[in-house]
Amino acid sequence: MDEQLFFKVLNSLCTSKEIFYFLSSVEVMSDTMASGALQRISEVEVDDNGLKNPGVLEDEVFRALCFQFEFESSKLSNTGLLNALQALIKLRVDPQSTLMASLLSEGEERLGKGQLTAENLCALGESLLELEGPSCATLEQIVNHMQERDIERWSTREIVMVYKILQVMVKEGKQCQNLLNRLNSVTLCTVSQLSPNFASVILNSLVVLRQTRAVPLVSALCKHSVKHVPYFTDHELVNVLGAFLYFGQKVQIFTEALERHIPKSILTMHPQTVSKIMQYCCKNMILSKPIFDAVAESFISNADRLTTDQIAAYIVPFGTLNYLPPSAPSLFRKLETVLHARLRHFQPHTLLNLLHSCVLIQRYPINFLPKIFSPYFLQKLQAQPPGLNRVVMSQLTQLFLTVTLECPFYEGPKLLSKYQAKAFPMLHSSPDFHILKRVKTGLLYLLKKRIYFASEVSTPYFYVVDIEIKLDEEGFVLPATQLEEVHRRIALCVDGQNRFCAHSHNLLGEEAIKQRHLQLLGYEVVQLPFFEIENLQNTRKVADYLHKKIFPCTYG
């Protein structure tokens, strides 16, 4: 049969049964046609979950094809040999079988003799990478052959394959940075031609190879990824997000692309992809309401199918970024149901992170706190990394403070004092030095003397107040060191940009709970956000602003 006609008929067939019937009617076929038939069988019989019907490998026609390849491997064309090898790997044929050993041996022999074209080298490299534990020496040989050609003339497919090979070589302790530097430079010129899959693979390689100095390439790939967001597979999107996180990339148009894509696609997304999206938002402090609202709806529908780590990954960012979605009542009802059913399956630190994030947004896990405060659970926390470090102690203390101040009806066990933190090492709590300095200068202008306010004041309740002002019963300002006759305490919260979500006026959860607790502890909390202060042009205007905020009754 004419080869062109053969492939036209072959590609129109959609089941292995049809393909086998067709092949049995062809009396003579070239090795290119036979390898094409194997490739078509692999296309219809293999999906994301593997081989759909293992019985295919036992079919008489399939075995006859394999017999030809096994015993006539030395007579095959390069294309026929390598296409067959790729198809058989995809079909999960045993790599230790005599068939696979024959094809691999023939491929490596031709490699050693320099008989493979650039396209052949790519096909062999891709096949070896698909197999478990490929020989680093063979992969290195492929790269050496490819370097004999001008690297600037490599196709995008060749570039991607070399990145994958270099990952293996570096893991084996080979030094490849000189080649990587050249490859990174060449890739930078081809970024605009990369498919979603190739862009994802290269970004993942740059992470694995720790190419932190390849900033121009990383930036270009991240920007290029924006247009591919709707077309990435779940696995590809996870790789891209992982690269954004590793390299600290923040591209606003990428977030906007996610906002357009995720609400439409979330119901078909793998939970691990959604978890990675939430990790990306949380680490970069991106409060994207379209994304968070879609994730909340997805959780309500799919929570029973999530792992405990995925449950935490979905929920914790809501607390961290201090956001309650419109579906909050249903969301937290579902979370409580899941916790009741699967509480014992959670790792101690995962459970603590989850419950702590809930109290940040005033969702109180009263029914589960007796377990958290039990000596047995605390011992388990201590035994597992990171143990009872300062962050863990502060989370426990904040849970305890929350039930003490906000849930007076709680009658369960309390947190033992030895587990209570003496001060909170809050990640984003340190005040913005520039804004704090302007506020102090304005206060000095307003109050005339420095003795009338104190900064960074530790309270008996573990929180640190940015600036404290004390007043007597008549409302007069007292020296900061005075302890008697203090009738009112004013806590000034100098909230720099680091205490808000990115590009937003929404306070982070840890700052919101601090201000809430200070208020319940008797402080008059006055918030001084950066976006109100930074545009004030001089000290007098800052003082005027502070007078209005702190002493509104005497202003004017």
> Which band of pLDDT confidence, cut at 50, 70 and 90, is reported for residue 176?
confident
Query: And the tokens for 105?
Result: 């041996």
**Neighbouring-strand partners of residue 489:** 470, 523
Residue 514: which of 397, 416, 409, 410 has the closest Cα?
Answer: 397
Report, at the CATH architecture level, how domain 433-550 is classified: 3-Layer(aba) Sandwich (3.40)
Query: And the tokens for 367?
Result: 């029914």
CB count in 10 Å sphere of residue 337: 12
Query: For position 178, what pLDDT does the model report?
Result: 84
- Tens of pLDDT, residues 430-473: 788 899 999 999 999 999 999 999 999 988 888 899 999 999 99
* Distance (Å, whole) CA 209 – CA 162: 12
- Tens of pLDDT, residues 108-164: 899 989 888 888 888 888 888 887 665 667 888 888 888 877 888 888 988 998 898
Give whole-number Cα distances, 503 to 250, 257, 265, 285, 530, in Å. 12, 16, 25, 9, 12
Would you call 54 helix, strand, or coil by DSSP? helix
CB count in 10 Å sphere of residue 165: 24
Query: For position 426, what pLDDT does the model report?
Result: 58
Would you call 495 helix, strand, or coil by DSSP? strand
- Tens of pLDDT, residues 214-266: 999 999 999 999 999 999 999 999 999 999 999 999 899 999 999 999 999 99
In this structure, are residues 267 and 298 in contact, taking their beta carbons and an 8 Å threshold?
yes
Task: Summarize the confidence of residues 408-423 as an average pLDDT.
Answer: 88
First CA to last CA across the chain, in angstroms? Answer: 98
For residue 71, give the DSSP letter. Answer: H
Select the more confidently predicted residue: 122 or 515: 515
- Ramachandran bin of 462, using left for φ above 0, alpha for ψ from -120 to 50, beta for the remaining angles: left
Would you call 186 helix, strand, or coil by DSSP? helix
In this structure, are residues 467 and 443 in contact, taking their beta carbons and an 8 Å threshold?
yes
Amino acid making up residue 374? S
* 60 burial via Cβ count (<10 Å: 0-12, 13-18, 19+): exposed
Task: Give the distance, in angstroms, between the CA of residue 101 and the centroid of all CA atoms in the same chain.
Answer: 39
Query: And the tokens for 282?
Result: 């949380």
- Tokens 């994958």 locate to 164
* Distance (Å, whole) CA 201 – CA 185: 17
In this structure, are residues 511 and 499 in contact, taking their beta carbons and an 8 Å threshold?
yes
* Domain extents in the chain: 1-115, 132-247, 250-356, 364-422, 433-550
Query: And the tokens for 488?
Result: 């009112």
* Exposed e or buried b per residue across 421-440, where buried means at least 16 C-beta atoms within 10 angstroms of its C-beta: beebebebbebbeebbebbb
Query: For position 308, what pLDDT does the model report?
Result: 97
Query: For position 339, what pLDDT does the model report?
Result: 97
